[in-house]
Amino acid sequence: MGELVGSNGETGAAGTATEVLSLLAERDQTLAVAESLTGGLVAAELTAVPGASRCFRGSVTAYATDLKRDVLGVDGALLAARGAVDPQVAAAMAVGVRNALGASWGIATTGVAGPDPQDGQPVGTVYVAVAGPTGGKTAALRLNGGRAEIRMESVRRVLELLSSELQDNAGTQDTEQNGGI
């Protein structure tokens, strides 16, 4: 399917997308994305990298709450009690997209980009999550700026969270392969 190629000097989300796809390719693993507030921007960053098809399975943009429940399998009672802007919802979205698209890893974004608060949460409240073969991780973000800035920073942060988890997971795999150094 081709080699993953990044341009020299890539920074921000583009550089992190290239790094994440390279790490996944090295491990022969795949990625699926569930997006709410980012509306497809994470998938766009990933698919902008030549050779992304080697690792990127696809994405679900579940902007509406009922899609989080019906497509991604987020518990309806959780959504009713906490709303869509919640760390448990982000974690469930990551697990749900991983399962639905048959990927090694799932990542998710949910939050409030503005201009108005949502589910009792102020603008700039964002949760990003990663679900992988050895568990998952969720991060709570409080971002400043306008709608576009909040959305792009959310993209960067979810890719950074995945990169960190991939690097941590690689260390665990190396230790296991080497008899628990």
Residue with tokens 């869509």: 84
Give pTM, 2 decimals.
0.89
Strands (E), 13-149: 31-35, 56-61, 105-111, 125-132, 135-142
In total, the chain counts a number of residues equal to 181
How many Cβ atoms are within 10 Å of 38's Cβ, its own excluded?
29
Q: 42: closest CA among 136, 108, 123? A: 108
List the chain residues with pLDDT less than 50. 1-10, 174-181
Query: Which two three-digit tokens encode residue 15?
Result: 């550089």
* CATH node for 12-170: 3.90.950.20
In the chain, domain spans: 12-170
Residue 171: the pLDDT is 57
